[in-house]
Amino acid sequence: MALQLPRPPLAAARLSIVLPSPARGVSASPRASGVAFSLQTNVRLLKPNRRVRRSRDPYYDLDEDYDDEDAFEEDEEADYESDDDMSGLEYPGVLYSNNTRAPSKRAGLQTPLIKEKWEGRQPKTRDKHRNPEKAEYLHLRNKGGRSSTDLMNRDSEIELKNESVSRSMFQKLQEEYDFDDKWLPLVDYLCTFGLKESHFTYIYERHMACFQISQASAEERLDFLLSAGVKSKDMKRILVRQPQILEYALGNLKSHVDFLLSIGAPSTRIGQIVSSAPSMFSYSVEQSLKPTVRYLIDEVGIEESDVGKVVQLSPQILVQKIDSAWKSRSLFLSKELGAPKDSIVKMVTKHPQLLHYSIEDGILPRINFLRSIGMRNSDILKVLTSLTQVLSLSLEDNLKPKYLYLVNDLKNEVQSLTKYPMYLSLSLDQRIRPRHRFLVSLKKAPKGPFPLSSFVPTDERFCQRWAGTSLEKYHTFRKSLLLKGFAENSGRKTLVSRR
């Protein structure tokens, strides 16, 4: 048995301040006033949600079918494609300095031997967290002439290979860091979610205490999250971002999930909310999360019935600081555009990230751009109320190219954007240009201004109603157009690099 020397204090070996973590089952400390900031929150979690709801087909920007223009204008649940420009956002928070690596084992210290008999991790072929019946099905099924015995043998071979990989990784962690033999079952279990050596190293340097819990305790907590709707493939990101989640009492996790349900978040979206903002478990429900929701209702003006929708659209809003700075943004929109309060509330309800946008770097430049292309304040207000995501779109890579294509290729006036602001959210390369050029190639493009309503329906409805051809023919055309554009862009880059 190897001699176990006293472990050097971790705090002394790090350059950055080691922040204390809450005790198991204890929530974060109460906020002094309004909405405060948890010192355990990773700053990367504080960015507004850049993802918005997309269609099931990655090439589609919308998964809704609109048969008439009025229905399209009134629909508030339409899906958008967002090309976010995050340079105009303000991210409050506590920045973590780069930690140096935790102390390696001292010279001459013998590496602890790995236990020969240990509970190996479940191989992926057992699909433990998705379908419990799938493993049994794989054994019973005769696939491609293979007997069930062959499949069982193949499964055993995969398990042995996985165990070998896990042992090898753990040996490396022991050689470089103070990984205790007792941590092996936990590390082995976490490997089932795809964690690799670099992930364990990062977790060890950031929050070593989470390795002190047992595999059974960790499994109990993660199984609950999986039952709440968290996808197994998202667990790796959650654990890396918020490893303390392994330490939180099961009652703490349940109380937070119950809180999300109580504010109107759909049960089918709980997993997505948790995956997007796992640090919310470090906040007290009574002292932090509920005051945040109350601020959204009382100060921002969001309807209580819409709070669940707002949290669903931007889960990070629960862990972001909301303070008096919002009042200055609201006042700016009111004075700059003459926006009434109900319009501002609609903007926040549709796009909660607006609560944290910078006026100087985010909101004002986009308003000035819309003014520069000939829009009046009333037109801008109508566009922003209908499509607040415009404030998150890049000027150079999104808004300007789409405007130039609108006037130069589609022969449209800028006033058409007030009726179809959705045009600004659609992909120029995947949706706008392919459909326009496809109709031109078929000689079915309408004369005069190109109708923006042709960009609204799904590809299938577009082919039926506008092109009068098969969906396969359009997809083939779009693919060739994309390949041609890629080749042209690559050629330009090559020419530039040769100069």
Mean pLDDT of the chain: 74
Distances in whole angstroms, Cα of residue 162 to Cα of each of 121, 135, 191, 219, 222: 8, 16, 9, 19, 21
Q: What is the pLDDT of residue 489?
A: 67
% of the chain residues with pLDDT over 90:
52
Is the pTM higher than 0.75? The answer reads no
The band of 29, judged by pLDDT with boundaries at 50, 70 and 90, is very low
For the record, the structure tokens of 442 come out as: 């078929």
Each residue's pLDDT tens digit, 5-25: 444 443 334 334 344 444 444
Q: What is the mean pLDDT of residues 337-360?
A: 94
Quickly list DSSP for 420-479. Answer: -GGGGGS-IIIIIHHHHHHHHHTT-PPSSSPPGGGGSS-HHHHIIIII-S-HHHHHHHHH
Distances in whole angstroms, Cα of residue 46 to Cα of each of 49, 186, 247: 9, 29, 22
pLDDT of residue 469 exceeding 90, the answer is: yes
Q: What is the pLDDT of residue 490?
A: 62
Q: What is the mean pLDDT of residues 456-470?
A: 94
Each residue's pLDDT tens digit, 162-199: 455 567 788 788 778 778 888 888 988 998 999 888 89
pLDDT of residue 135 exceeding 50, the answer is: no
Q: What is the mean pLDDT of residues 84-94?
A: 32
pLDDT of residue 229 exceeding 60, the answer is: yes
Q: Which residues contact 125 (CB under 8 A, 6 or more apart)?
A: 135, 138, 155, 158
Choose the most confident range, by mean pLDDT, from 48-52, 82-86, 364-368.
Answer: 364-368
Query: Among 86-90, 434-438, 473-477, whose mean pLDDT is lowest?
Result: 86-90
